Amino acid sequence: MADKIPKRITNMAKSPDLKVTVRVGKEGLKDSLIEEINDQLKSKEIIKLKLNKGTTKDRDGKKGLVKIVEQETNSKSVFVRGNIAVFWRT
């Protein structure tokens, strides 16, 4: 996986036009949700994920979930702000 994220991908990730396509609920990251993220990353360059309130208790928990998604889907987080994360698979 490339260490450097192309500017084009970063700009897409920060665009307000990019809609959330995956939501992580209070049940967390189930295998079925990881499969859905993988499927979406096969057909789209980037996907936007939202961690619903109550998913984690603190910032470290959110960071942990982002890392799990990266590892389980072989993707990279391009943009993370608050409870929103955008992932890209090279």
pLDDT at 48: 98
pLDDT at 54: 80
- How many structural domains compose the chain? 1
pTM above 0.75, yes or no: yes
Average pLDDT per 10 consecutive residues for the chain, totaling 90 residues:
81 95 91 96 96 85 93 95 92
Could you tell me where the beta strands, DSSP code E, fall in the chain? 20-24, 46-51, 76-81, 84-88
Cα–Cα distance, 77 to 34 (Å, whole number):
15
43 in a domain, yes or no?
yes
CATH code of 58's domain:
3.30.110.60
Q: How many Cβ atoms from other residues are within 10 Å of residue 65's Cβ?
A: 19
Provide the domain limits for residue 43: 7-88
pLDDT at 13: 96
2 in a domain, yes or no?
no
Q: How many Cβ atoms from other residues are within 10 Å of residue 53's Cβ?
A: 9
39 in a domain, yes or no?
yes
27 in a domain, yes or no?
yes
